[in-house]
Chains A and B, each alone.
Chain A
């Protein structure tokens, strides 16, 4: 491995609330067991609006089982999930002692406070302006999660919100690492959150033909790389990590999961929603992440792919991986964990970031479920059947995340 950047950034805490579990240990256990978090949605509104898609991946543990009643009332689901994941990550990191002015927060989202926005619009229409909840605006704004987490932790180095659709969570982690590298902070709580399990969002994604319609077989609906895949399954939740300069982490004797080693980003400028089929932009992001991490492609022993289970997107990413790494991609076994979690939109890249970190930490790469017939257009070593043990010694893994708007984000994680 070649030269690393001056300031090493390491991961010292993990938190998540996901369709598979209310925290990281339960989510990781479900991932290793090959569990699907997708189920038939039982909300009244599914029937009320006769939605053509009736499946999704709601959070395993409802937020009102974790947060206080007042917190539930004052936070949109988006910020509720962010708060739950951030508190777990913070505790997992050992609640580091850090100057408030050296502690930052970066929480991304794809959609923001859509429940509050629409609930309060209904209040205005039905009951008049006086009945709009006074916290309507601070609840619906997309930076509500980062602002509230900053308030909760007393973080004053900066609270930021990255919005790049389904790349938001990954880009937030990259932005956070750059805050530390550039000297703005010693510790940053970073990730993504999405609480958009709303009929408007399901209806909107359905209108663009993006969602799987396998309503009669929910646990088999999210099937990246399979010939019978027919779209993604919408999920919700949040994932957050604590990033820290290596010097700060070592000085306090923190447990270090992995190094957050390199970030690569690009934009397609091709189409607002469709991926560029040759994967030129996506491959540039991957190559940049590996090179900025001071790695060569042969150091990368695992990729957690974006792989949402859409017919076009999965092939475009596979092409991009080949374009980036050529024959070296043969040595990069790929996991498509959305086969289990569904697609958490603005939290997806953050959750997959956590899973990539855990894969490097435990040297175990998750298997892709529901992969009965590998699409012949996917020329990758896709892990299926059982989890794959990763090699001993220095290893690295890559997380890919892409978003509507043409956003491409890749980051590399190194073993410690």
Chain B
């Protein structure tokens, strides 16, 4: 079942927090995973796999490099759920 953008953002923020210890409040739509949140590629893969499980979607490896910002990921997940 599709979730709202806000629901996905909150879920993703929790996953990022679990993996990196970053405050949930720091995970905002316009933040870049690498430049703003300092998330390395290994952490990104863990976040992706955990997000796949949490949101019931598949995020292909080729797609991960296109997910620059938190908003990119939220929108991808929302479309995939659609």
Interface residues of A (CB under 8 A from B): 68-70, 73, 130-131, 133-135
Contact B21 A134 (CB under 8 A): no
Chain A residue, CB-CB nearest to B44: A134
Contact A70 B45 (CB under 8 A): no
B49 at the interface (CB under 8 A from A): yes
Partner of B19, one of A73, A130, A131: A73
Complex interface: chain A residues within 8 A of B42 (CB) = 134-135
B20 at the interface (CB under 8 A from A): yes
Complex interface: chain A residues within 8 A of B68 (CB) = none
The B interface is mostly helix, strand or loop, or mixed, namely helix
Can you pick out 19 interface pairs between chain A and chain B where the beta carbons lie within 8 Å of each other? Answer: A68-B21, A69-B18, A69-B21, A70-B19, A70-B20, A70-B21, A73-B18, A73-B19, A130-B49, A130-B52, A131-B49, A133-B46, A134-B42, A134-B43, A134-B45, A134-B46, A134-B49, A135-B42, A135-B46
The A interface is mostly helix, strand or loop, or mixed, namely helix
Chain B residue, CB-CB nearest to A70: B21
Which chain B residues in 37-58 approach chain A with CB under 8 Å?
Answer: 42-43, 45-46, 49, 52
Chain B residue, CB-CB nearest to A131: B49
Chain A residue, CB-CB nearest to B45: A134
Task: Give chain B nearest CB distance to A342 CB in angstroms.
Answer: 33
Task: Give chain B nearest CB distance to A39 CB in angstroms.
Answer: 31
**How distant is the Cα of A130 from the Cα of B21 in the complex, in angstroms?**
23
**How distant is the Cα of A130 from the Cα of B19 in the complex, in angstroms?**
17
**How distant is the Cα of A1 from the Cα of B42 in the complex, in angstroms?**
55
Task: Give chain B nearest CB distance to A291 CB in angstroms.
Answer: 49
Q: Inter-chain contact count A-B, CB under 8 Å? A: 19
**How distant is the Cα of A381 from the Cα of B19 in the complex, in angstroms?**
54
Task: Give chain A nearest CB distance to B58 CB in angstroms.
Answer: 9
Chain B residue, CB-CB nearest to A133: B46
For B, the interface residue count at a CB cutoff of 8 angstroms equals 10
**How distant is the Cα of A135 from the Cα of B44 in the complex, in angstroms?**
11
Complex interface: chain B residues within 8 A of A130 (CB) = 49, 52
**How distant is the Cα of A69 from the Cα of B14 in the complex, in angstroms?**
13
Complex interface: chain A residues within 8 A of B45 (CB) = 134
Complex interface: chain A residues within 8 A of B46 (CB) = 133-135
Complex interface: chain B residues within 8 A of A135 (CB) = 42, 46
A-B pairs, 4 with minimum CB distance: A70-B21, A134-B45, A134-B42, A134-B46
**How distant is the Cα of A73 from the Cα of B42 in the complex, in angstroms?**
13
**How distant is the Cα of A337 from the Cα of B50 in the complex, in angstroms?**
45
**How distant is the Cα of A146 from the Cα of B32 in the complex, in angstroms?**
32
**How distant is the Cα of A199 from the Cα of B19 in the complex, in angstroms?**
27
Task: Give chain B nearest CB distance to A45 CB in angstroms.
Answer: 25
Task: Give chain B nearest CB distance to A350 CB in angstroms.
Answer: 29
Complex interface: chain B residues within 8 A of A69 (CB) = 18, 21
**How distant is the Cα of A134 from the Cα of B18 in the complex, in angstroms?**
15
Complex interface: chain B residues within 8 A of A131 (CB) = 49
Task: Give chain A nearest CB distance to B79 CB in angstroms.
Answer: 20
Q: A69-B18, A69-B21 are in contact. List 8 more A-B contacts (CB 8 A).
A: A68-B21, A70-B19, A70-B20, A130-B52, A134-B43, A134-B46, A135-B42, A135-B46
Task: Give chain A nearest CB distance to B26 CB in angstroms.
Answer: 14
**How distant is the Cα of A9 from the Cα of B18 in the complex, in angstroms?**
43
**How distant is the Cα of A68 from the Cα of B19 in the complex, in angstroms?**
11
Complex interface: chain A residues within 8 A of B19 (CB) = 70, 73
**Which of A68, A130, A131 has the most CB atoms of chain B within a 10 A radius of its CB?**
A130
Chain A residue, CB-CB nearest to B53: A131
Complex interface: chain B residues within 8 A of A134 (CB) = 42-43, 45-46, 49
Task: Give chain B nearest CB distance to A173 CB in angstroms.
Answer: 32
Mark interface residues in B9-25 (1 if CB within 8 Å of A CB, else 0). Answer: 00000000011110000
**How distant is the Cα of A131 from the Cα of B52 in the complex, in angstroms?**
10
Chain B residue, CB-CB nearest to A132: B49
Task: Give chain A nearest CB distance to B59 CB in angstroms.
Answer: 10
Complex interface: chain A residues within 8 A of B49 (CB) = 130-131, 134
**How distant is the Cα of A134 from the Cα of B42 in the complex, in angstroms?**
6
Task: Give chain B nearest CB distance to A72 CB in angstroms.
Answer: 10
Chain A residue, CB-CB nearest to B47: A134
Task: Give chain A nearest CB distance to B14 CB in angstroms.
Answer: 13
